[in-house]
């Protein structure tokens, strides 16, 4: 059985690493274009349906509703003794129940109740991208207000940008930075989870800056637990930006992105195998950027370690993750850049208390 599972995983790997599709750019800041985090990169950015930590601020704020602990409590309750309906008319049966309840005849039953408890999580990630770019993200989330709330910051740094004066002479090199701050809330009831997050963004440019903000909204739905779940989210909704420089100021709009993802989990005894399919569409540039395919495969070797393969547009990815209970999670991954020339590397840690 184990060999057959490894063969299927190898076949999936070969497919993901050789398939290609149209790639799309999104917003100006790097973290608004492609996101961040090792798990999302390893799964080809097909992540909105599975995210359940503070990084949901970006990927799908509905995932914040999963920040909680579960406690199973056993209770003993007393109920009226059950009585099988005797042969005869209903009046005879009803009279029997009345007599039994009047006499206080009861029996004890043991029931198991699941309660949600408080949890706090800390998520942090960093990435080394092509052309010397760095990306980072950090967030804190906790159970609150009947769901989950979180706040975080992220950004990118581009190093070694050559600058020149009006005569064309080199003035050395400088670094450009982008920053974003997030705050969000997620709420769930039954199989449905909903969420919203807001963000502000600033990007430092040579001789100017970009400032802006917007909203992310999302939903997660467990269709057939635990085999099938779906999710959808909209990033940079109603997002605007203002660019200023030497003697000018202009207003613009951040590209709005729509993402859909679906998680299919194999039934027992192969439930350690998950397939995630999805796509990302640029709603502001449907002709130029088109639709980007997102695909991921996760295979659990045991309860502590799992492997990831992904495809984000034309960028194949692979990764490895470690779980120590629900307290500590770690992941590392790598993918190709848009041009397929360089590898990009990511690391991520998540702590739960």
| 315 within domain boundaries | yes
| 219 within domain boundaries | yes
| 82 within domain boundaries | no
pLDDT at 160: 61
pLDDT at 289: 65
pLDDT at 264: 96
Find out whether 170 and 162 touch, Cβ atoms under 8 Å: yes
User: What's the CA gap between 133 and 175, in Å, rounded?
Assistant: 10
Output the six-digit token pair for 21. Answer: 């599709």
Instruction: Output the domain CATH number for residue 244.
Output: 2.40.160.60
Residue showing tokens 């701050």? 181
pLDDT at 7: 46
Our count of domains for the chain comes to: 1
Query: Can you give the three-state secondary structure of the chain, one letter per residue?
Result: CHHHHHHHHHHHHHHHHHCCCCCCCCCCCHHHHHCCCHHHHHCCCCCCCCCCCCCHHHHCHHHHHHCCEEEEEEEEEEEECCCCCCCCCHHHHHHHHHHHHHCCCEEEEEEEEEEEECCEEEEEEEEECHHHEEEEEEEEEEEECCEEEEEEEEEEEEEEEEEECCCCCEEEEEEEEEEEEEEEEEEEECCEEEEEEEEEEEEEECCEEEEEEEEEEEEEEEEECCCEEEEEEEEEEEEEEEEEECCEEEEEECCCEEEEEEEEECCCCCCCEEEEEEEEEECCCCCCCCEEEEEEEEEECCCCEEEEEEEECCEEEEEEEEEECCCEEEEEEEEECCCCCCEEEEEEEEEEC
Find out whether 322 and 334 touch, Cβ atoms under 8 Å: no
State the burial class of residue 348 (Cβ atoms within 10 Å of its Cβ: 0-12, 13-18, 19+). buried
User: What's the CA gap between 239 and 251, in Å, rounded?
Assistant: 11
pLDDT at 245: 64
Mean per-residue pLDDT pooled into runs of 10, the chain (353 residues): 47 39 38 86 96 97 95 67 53 64 62 82 94 91 97 86 59 75 96 96 78 94 95 90 67 86 91 94 79 95 95 93 93 86 93 96
| 72 within domain boundaries | no
Instruction: Return the bridge partners of 281, or none.
Output: 258, 291
Find out whether 347 and 127 touch, Cβ atoms under 8 Å: yes
pLDDT at 99: 64
Torsion of CA 293, 192, 201, 258, to 10 degrees: 30
pTM, two decimal places: 0.79
User: What's the CA gap between 292 and 279, in Å, rounded?
Assistant: 5
Q: Which domain holds residue 232?
A: 12-66+123-352
pLDDT at 314: 83
Separation in Å, CA 32 to CA 27, 90, 110: 6, 68, 51
| 56 within domain boundaries | yes
| 211 within domain boundaries | yes
| 7 within domain boundaries | no
| 79 within domain boundaries | no
């Amino acid at each position: 059985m184990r060999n057959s599972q490894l063969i299927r995983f190898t076949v999936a790997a070969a497919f993901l690493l050789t398939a290609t599709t149209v790639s799309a750019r999104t917003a100006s800041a790097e973290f608004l274009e492609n996101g961040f985090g090792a798990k999302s990169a390893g799964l080809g950015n097909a992540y909105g349906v599975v995210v359940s930590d503070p990084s949901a601020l970006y990927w799908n704020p509905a995932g914040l509703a999963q920040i909680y602990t579960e406690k199973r409590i056993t209770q003993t309750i007393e109920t009226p003794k059950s009585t099988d309906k005797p042969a005869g008319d209903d009046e005879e049966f009803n009279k029997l129940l009345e007599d039994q309840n009047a006499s206080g005849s009861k029996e004890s039953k043991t029931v198991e109740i699941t309660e949600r408890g408080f949890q706090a999580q800390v998520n942090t990630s960093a990435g080394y991208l092509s052309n010397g770019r760095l990306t980072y993200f950090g967030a804190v989330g906790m159970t609150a207000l009947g769901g989950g709330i979180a706040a975080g910051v992220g950004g990118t740094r581009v190093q070694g940008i050559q600058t020149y004066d009006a005569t064309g002479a080199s003035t050395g090199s400088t670094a450009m930075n982008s920053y974003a701050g997030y705050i969000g809330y997620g709420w769930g009831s039954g199989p449905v989870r909903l969420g919203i997050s807001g963000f502000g963004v600033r990007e430092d440019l040579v001789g100017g800056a970009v400032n802006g903000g917007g909203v992310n909204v999302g939903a997660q739905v467990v269709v057939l637990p635990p085999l099938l779940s779906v999710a959808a989210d909209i990033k940079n909704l109603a997002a605007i930006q203002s660019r200023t420089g030497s003697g000018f100021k202009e207003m613009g709009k951040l590209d709005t992105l729509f993402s859909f993802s679906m998680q299919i989990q194999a039934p027992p005894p192969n439930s350690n195998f998950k397939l995630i399919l999805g796509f990302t569409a640029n709603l502001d540039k449907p002709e130029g950027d088109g639709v980007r395919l997102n695909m991921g495969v996760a295979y659990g070797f045991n309860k502590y370690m799992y492997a990831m393969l992904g495809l984000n547009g034309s960028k194949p990815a692979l990764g490895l993750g470690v779980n120590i209970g629900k307290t500590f999670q770690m992941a590392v991954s790598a993918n190709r850049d848009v041009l397929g020339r360089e590898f990009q590397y990511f690391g991520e840690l998540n702590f739960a208390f």
